[in-house]
Amino acid sequence: MPAHYVHRGLIKRNLVENTIKSFKNSIKRGYGIETDLHITKDKQIVCFHDFNLKHKFKLNRQIKKVDYDFLNKLEKKYQVKVPLLTDLLKISNNKCHLLLEIKPTFNNESLKILLKLLRKTKKYGIISFKEKNLINLYKLNKKLSLGLLFNATARLKTIQSKAIKKYVKFLVLEKKFLSNKNLHLVKKRIYYYTIKNKDLFKKYKNSKNLIFEN
């Protein structure tokens, strides 16, 4: 796994998150790509951050309750295409590492669909705040690279206790933990998100694994 990933493909400020254009720009720069995954009503896995279309498309509809054709039709009005995971896999073509965050809790059928798609690449890790996703993925394939996400309010004791779980291969922590000296006790790889400040990136890029943007 690489040292640094671009958060949602946002390598430049003028790009739109989780789009093919943003992903292509990240690939050109040689970084890994972090993106978010949801599954639609017709079982298509898409790269999209929110659970709802309200913020991006002004529609109060949940991703899991619409078909992908519905999302495709929004492109004409908003000039933003919601890419499929298969689109990202095609353009990455094993040229860069992918860090895939499962946003909701996927059922076993959805997890199997995901793993089937990922047969096309060897360069990926799967992360989630939902520990159940990691547990169920581990049951399906114990060799998967799985990472547990923690937000800024997480307690160090909780992080340490989860780090020793056999299904947790690495950790992804909020950037406030960058300066925590007690994390040296954790013997697994740690990534830190989201680094938006250039000075902060420069300070830690040679010593920490970062998920950054801009």
User: pLDDT truncated to tens, each residue of the chain (214 aa)?
Assistant: 768 999 999 999 999 999 999 999 999 999 999 999 999 999 999 999 999 999 999 999 999 999 999 999 998 888 989 999 999 999 999 989 999 999 999 999 999 999 999 998 989 999 999 999 999 999 999 999 999 999 999 999 999 999 999 999 999 999 999 999 999 889 999 999 999 999 999 999 999 999 999 8
The predicted pLDDT at position 207 comes to: 95
Beta carbons within 10 angstroms of residue 194's beta carbon: 17
CA 110 to chain CA centroid, nearest Å: 16
Q: What is the three-class DSSP state of 52?
A: strand
The predicted pLDDT at position 2 comes to: 67
Encoded amino acid at 119, one letter? R
Between the alpha carbon of residue 135 and those of residues 4, 65, 147, the distances in Å are: 25, 25, 11
The predicted pLDDT at position 120 comes to: 81
Residue pair 8/18 in contact by the 8 Å Cβ criterion: yes
Residues 6+ apart with CB under 8 A from 110: 39, 43, 45
What angle separates helix 85-92 from helix 20-29, to the nearest 10 degrees? Answer: 30
Sign of CA dihedral 23, 27, 174, 47: positive
Residue pair 39/113 in contact by the 8 Å Cβ criterion: yes
Encoded amino acid at 166, one letter? K
Long-range contacts of 159-167 (CB under 8 A, 24+ apart): 159/183, 159/186, 160/185, 160/186, 162/131, 163/187, 163/188, 166/138, 167/134, 167/135, 167/137, 167/138
The predicted pLDDT at position 63 comes to: 97
Please state the φ and ψ torsions of residue 152, each to the nearest 5 degrees. Answer: -65, -20
On the CB side of 153, how many CA atoms lie within 13 Å of its CA? 1
The predicted pLDDT at position 50 comes to: 97
The CATH number assigned to the domain with range 4-37+94-212 reads: 3.20.20.190
